[in-house]
A and B are shown apart, each in its own frame.
Chain A
Amino acid sequence: MSTAPPTPPDANLLRGHLDLILLSIIQGPPKYGLEISKLAQTATDGYFDLKVGSLYPALHRLEKAGFVRSEFTSGPRSGNQVKAYTLTESGGRELNTRRAEFQTFTQQLGKLWTLTGGMT
């Protein structure tokens, strides 16, 4: 049985969390741009659709900030050079910090949704 793909997030919401999304995907073995964008899609049933126009500027910004490093390597299908990204040590720390912040934020926000009445 298949389910309909979730409605994509609001563009501002996606933009606001793009770095966290990318750092989350890049952790582990090196990955190149196309691979990153496909992983974002497949792992979230199409919820995150990262366009090239936002993906590459964000990757380069993360590299400039020292959170990821890159290396050119041969593409698995075409043999053309692709640029593979890995997390640096500070990128790993940044991912942990941002993940914890995001979890705290959603937990606290969740408490507001369970409010049922006014103050007693």
Chain B
Amino acid sequence: MNQTEQYVRQATRGLWGRAQRELRTELEGHIAERCQEFRLSGLSAAEAERQTLRELGAPVQVSRGMLDVYTAPALGKAGVLSALLATAVFSALPQGLAQVTSIYGSFPMTGPTSYLDFEQLKAAIEKAGGQVDGSASNAIIALPGAVVGMNGLSESDWPGISVARNGKTYYQTDALLYSLLSSKLDVRISGWTNPVVNADGAKIAIETSDWQTINWLYASTLRMSFSMPRDDLNTPYALIEPESLTGRLNFKGAFQKAAVYALVIPKLVSWTGMDAKGQPVGGFLNLLNTTAQAQAGSVQFHVPPDFKDYKLYSNPSEFQKALEPYQQLVTAPVAQWNAQHPAPVLLLKLSGHFGPDAYTIVSPGSVKKQP
């Protein structure tokens, strides 16, 4: 696949049918025209293509924007479907524990993320002895044991903190976790289907069998590292577009039944952002966390399609060292992983706990890749 094809494929990811076909043709037209302009100014075909693609920026920015245009109204259907699924698993939930339904999608302001039904969340927190004041756009969440005086998060300091879908209001999952962690509560995720968020004994049951929402929760134990003194995984995290991890990777080995494992996969994609001081920062590397619950002796991960060239690392500092050249586009030896330049990957066992013990590294020698 050439670079233009790869760009167009990534930029149209997540779209279907006519919308995808038309955007593909439109982008190919744009690229062909711009390449031709560069050719006329004296560049070679390869240089013209490279220059054009550099000018276009990261394809994920196009796909994310397009998903907002084409999929936001369709979330209504997803919401209904998840409600139906939730009804189906309702009887399996522990009695006496309030349930909170969730949605996962790509939203304006935030990109792909997970949200929780605000009214149900409020009921669950009250049932656990806590209190929620205010609306979803400026809620103050307090649970027993929380540090008193915690200010609520609002739309102005957390854009996209709440969204409305199908007459319901949803609260961003990260904002809940942030509230709990900054209240100095001890937070742990447990279970897989219908996972439970346990904050110093107060339990909030998340009613979902959607892999993406469960993955979001467990991956957040790695992402929300402000209470974590370890910097092994100190690289920006990739946002996972809905339904984009269509590949599968199977391992056999000393996997513990019902334990949760994660693969940390580096993605080569240009990104820009701002640091805590508001200074522009950028790079070429994101880490994608994909998690899975193991069977005894085996585990299957959702991975990007065609993900096959990788190498497992047993040591975080070697992992970081292997990634170093890829931090910036100009120093990256290749623009995509291949057999000669395999992606450095970490296989972790997750504890579900937010803190320095969030994970332990699984030794590559103890596992074997399965077809």
Contact = CB atoms under 8 A, between A and B. Distances in A.
* A, B assembled together: yes
Interface of A: 32-34, 51-54, 56-58, 60-61, 64, 72, 75-78, 80-83
A77 B38 CA distance: 11
Interface string B10-53: 00000000000011011111101111110010000000000000
Nearest to A76: B33
Interface string B283-313: 0000000000000000000000000000000
B68 interface: yes
Contact of B28 (A54, A56, A61, A80): A80
Contacts of A54: 61, 65
Given A34-B34, A75-B32, A78-B35, A83 B65 contact: no
A56 B8 CA distance: 13
Contacts of A61: 69
A101 B234 CA distance: 46
A82 B26 contact: yes
B66 interface: yes
Contacts of B150: none
Interface of B: 22-23, 25-30, 32-37, 40, 56-58, 61-62, 64-66, 68-70
B19 to A, nearest CB: 8
A34 B33 CA distance: 8
A57 B68 contact: yes
A33 B68 contact: no
Contacts of B70: 60
A17 B70 CA distance: 21
B17 to A, nearest CB: 14
Contact of B33 (A52, A53, A58, A77): A77
B62 A56 contact: yes
Contacts of A81: 25-26, 28-29
Q: Most chain-A CB neighbours within 10 Å: which of B40, B62, B64? A: B62
A64 B69 contact: yes
- Which of A34, A58, A61 is packed against the most chain B CB atoms within 10 Å? A34
B22 A53 contact: no
Given A51-B57, A52-B61, A77-B36, A82 B69 contact: no
